[in-house]
Amino acid sequence: MSERWARLVLSTYRWVGAAAFPVVGAYVAFRASKGKEERGRHGERYGVASVARPSGPLIWVHAASVGETSAVTPLVEAIVDMGIHVVLTTGTVTSAKMVQDRLGDRVIHQYVPLDLKPAVDRFLTHWQPDLAIICESEIWPMTILELGTRRVPQVLVNGRLSDRSFANWHKRPSIAEALFENLAHVVAQSEIDGERFRTLGARPVTVSGNLKVDTAIPPVNDAELSALQRMIGSRKTWAAISTHQGEEQIVAQVHHMLKARHRDLLTIIVPRHPDRAIEIAAEIEKMGMKVALRSRGDQIAPDTDIYLGDTIGDMGLYLRVTEVAFVGRSLTAQGGQNPLEPAMLRSAILSGRNVQNFRDSYQRLIKNGGAKLVRDKDMLAGAVNYLFNNPEERQVMIDAGLKTVEDMRGSLTRTMTALEPFIQPLVLQARLSNREGGWK
């Protein structure tokens, strides 16, 4: 890497800031969580591969966490079906488990290397990808520049830029352009995202819609679902999913307010970070409520107030036992979380107003009547109570959410069309490689 590139990387980190680079946060989290990851795989963070590279063309696909992994899974399956090897990197243990559960040995999973030159160089030297596909908003200067130096095409799919990230990039347009010009194509989620990428110098940019709409409905174990339904019985339920710090206490307060009118109420809380479950349970119990944790195998007793869904990969279970879902990171935190899964699983959707990261999805849901925004705990309690008391209106919201999802489908097809010029030569190369019994 030239001295100019090195200066660019340093100035980018200095001026744009860590908020625009998720890998900085990932590095801090990695240092803080040492010892909690899979044994023997720490080296992958520094680009040390744990398996050999297969022969033939190979595409590197990166999805940061669970949401991105779920979104990109159908795309990865389509690529693998073409006979091309995929090394799929993620940044968390939970997303690694999702890769194993949904893709198994169809792909090679590795933890993403830190955005440090030695780690990135080691990773790229070993895997020698023919194409790099990055999902959503992972913008790493060192990785982008190293791929550019090696002339590896880079495509950003399901691309989005939050208000904050766009504002940070926009302050230093020359730096943004120097990085984004390395992207061979950006496939953006929405027209707003597409225009933002164009403003920052990305070319070409197309708009596909959200890949998360084309994912399969979250799976469920039928036996576990039946067991949970038996424990709940005829009790009224609502769920608060993907909650962040502070929201669990608000939800518990809402439960207390609602219980005066709905004495059989059971509230399900699914925190975004399950490792906070013990802390959450303790705080709610201090409020005088009884909490059951799924991770401990706790039973739901008649006097259980809160069922804490602190297990990984069970969103399909929790959303199948309720018809009302509040989506978190929207009252006490900024950005919101994905509302499409509850829409797919027949829930009327409620959310706080801070949903900038999923603006397009919420705008469509709200316009069609599938979601409503609330400003505080009193408004949230009122909305849940209204939906309990008006099953016809609840069903209208559920049907509107399902129709919205159906109308939004097609992103996978549009994304594959954008990727075709990059993938088709590799498909031909893979066929030749198979015939000749060698690589390249």
In whole angstroms, give the CA distance from residue 139 to residue 126.
22
Name the active-site residue from 3, 37, 44, 68. 68
Beta-strand runs (E) in 278-356: 291-293, 306-308, 324-327, 348-351
* CB-CB contact of 155 with 183 (8 Å): yes
Which residues, at least 6 apart from 432, have a Cβ–Cβ distance to it below 8 Å? none
Q: Residue for token digits 């576990």? A: 224
The reply to whether 68 belongs to the active site is yes
Q: Residue for token digits 């107003």? A: 353
For the stretch 82-115, what's the b/e string if a residue is b when 16 or more beta carbons lie within 10 angstroms of its beta carbon?
eebbbbbbbbbbbbbbbbeebbeeebbbbbbbbb
Tokens of 175: 């730096």
Q: In what order do the strands lie in the sheet with 306-308?
A: 291-293, 306-308, 266-271, 237-243, 324-327, 348-351, 371-373
In whole angstroms, give the CA distance from residue 115 to residue 45.
9
In whole angstroms, give the CA distance from residue 78 to residue 89.
17
* CB-CB contact of 72 with 211 (8 Å): yes
In whole angstroms, give the CA distance from residue 137 to residue 162.
8
Largest CA distance in the chain: 74
Which residues are the active-site residues?
68
